[in-house]
Amino acid sequence: MSQSNETAREQRGEWKPSSAIRPVPLFAWPVRPLAVLTWLFGYPGYLLPWTAFYAAISLATWAYLTPPMSMMRAFSLDWVALIFARNLVLIVLIVSAWHLRLYVRRAQGDQYKYNRRWPKKGESPNFLFKDQVRENFFWTLLSAVPIWTAYEVLTLWAFANDFIPCVDWRVHPVYCTLLMVAIPIIHEFHFYWVHRLIHWPPLYRTVHYLHHKNVNPVPWSGLSMHPIEHLLYFSGVLIHWVLPSHPLHALFHLQALAFFPAQGHSGFEQVLVNDKVSIPTGDYGHYLHHKLFECNYCNELVPLDKLFGTFHDGSKEAEEAMYKRLRARRQRPA
């Protein structure tokens, strides 16, 4: 477990990790094979606990909650409604698990909570219904789930009709396994460029501002976006229309897009199981993005922020460098 709750708090009451955010070993130079293997298979690491957990949900979904491919050759209300209902139930169960423990029961108080403030019911005029959580719930269920489902339905229909290249796990097990493992990394490359695009002022003012109303995010904030942003965000699954894949890859890709934001916006670095055991959950880099806006357009899984000068590791030096970059940008001639 990292440093205690109180010793990690700044004067303004914000909690932060004791060490700066570091890029993952996969893209470090020189290559350190042992560090890469430890990051890949260790705990906590790339696969454990969360990538493996969500991959297991996808496997169960594919095995028990997805219609047979033969049924999906033609659009039918039966199987489309089944996928929509399944996605709706899954998102409510998973995000509610985070929200109920951390924000309703407040099972660990503000221990490892980045921002001590709690959302106030009916006292937030910038949000629909004057309530942050209700607005987040509204956009997640009425926009994210339908658009996620539409991408999934179209992709499964295309697989069922052999319109896109399909790979059999039994014939190419190594390729299929490696592609499954690589999906979160593929997503981060896509997410970085989409995220930079919607920070372009015209799109920010009309689209992305909605998500950024969540300066102090909660689990339901993860998918609280404008419908145009949902269209861009879930479009990452279209890589499986050109890259030889199995329908399970597309299913996992979409579910990773749907489920990971809840923990990434939980507002907590760790979830306490008991006094001695905790599970790392937070994404401090993305919390800094919500707080400061002009940094960390993706997480440290891929080095694009580092490459393009938008990486913020949580240190004072990084914050000073960010503001220096912004001042220089404003002083450029139009």
The per-residue pLDDT for range 260-275, each reduced to its tens digit, is 999 999 999 999 988 8
Mean pLDDT of the 24-31 span: 89
Kindly report, residue by residue over 92-144, the tens digit of the pLDDT.
999 999 999 999 999 999 999 999 999 988 888 999 999 999 999 999 999 99
pTM of the model: 0.94
Say how far apart CA 149 and CA 139 lie, in whole Å.
14
8, pLDDT greater than 90: no
Q: In this prediction, what percent of the chain has a pLDDT beyond 70?
A: 96
Identify the CA nearest to 279 among candidates 43, 58, 77, 61.
43
Domain boundaries, the chain: 47-292
pLDDT digits (tens, 9 = 90+) for 171-190: 999 999 999 999 999 999 99
Q: What does the pLDDT average to over 228-232?
A: 98
Tell me the per-residue pLDDT of 38-74, one tens digit each, with 9 for 90 and over.
999 999 999 999 999 999 999 999 999 999 999 999 9
pLDDT for 16 beyond 70: yes
The C-alpha angle 57, 107, 224, rounded to 5 degrees, equals: 55
pLDDT at 4 over 70: no
pLDDT number for residue 1: 42
| CA 34 to chain CA centroid, nearest Å | 27
pLDDT score recorded for residue 12: 66
Q: What is the pLDDT of residue 181?
A: 97
CB of 305 closer than 8 Å to CB of 296 = yes
As a whole number of angstroms, the distance between CA 282 and CA 289 comes to 13
Of 90, 252, 67, whose CA–CA distance to 177 is shortest?
252
Calpha distance 49→273 (Å, rounded): 14
